[in-house]
């Protein structure tokens, strides 16, 4: 997994069917319709999300790229 900006990760979650539930500070909270699981993505401007966290978010959301 390569380092990814938070905005790009949010865009990919939207493409995979995850909807933005709310924004709390700099964290975007995503949920999938009909599911209890939520995913929190830190969006700090154009700052890069480190590979480990990006991989964990992708694994939780069942997406890959």
- State residue 63's pLDDT score: 86
Neighbours of 13 (CB within 10 A): 22
Helix 51-61 vs helix 6-15: crossing angle, to nearest 10: 10
Give the CATH number of the domain where residue 40 resides: 3.30.920.30
Query: pLDDT tens per residue, the chain (65 residues)?
Result: 677 899 999 999 999 999 999 999 999 999 988 888 999 999 998 899 998 999 999 999 988 76
Which residue range is the domain that position 21 belongs to? Answer: 4-61
- State residue 53's pLDDT score: 92
Helices (H) and strands (E) in the chain, counts: 2, 5
The model carries a pTM of 0.85
Domain count, the chain: 1
């Amino acid at each position: 997994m390569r380092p990814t900006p938070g905005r790009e990760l949010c865009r990919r979650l939207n493409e995979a069917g995850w909807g933005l539930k709310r924004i709390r500070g700099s964290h975007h909270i995503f949920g999938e319709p009909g599911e209890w699981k939520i995913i929190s993505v830190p969006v700090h401007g154009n700052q890069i999300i480190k590979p480990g966290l990006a991989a964990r978010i992708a694994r939780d959301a069942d997406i890959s790229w």
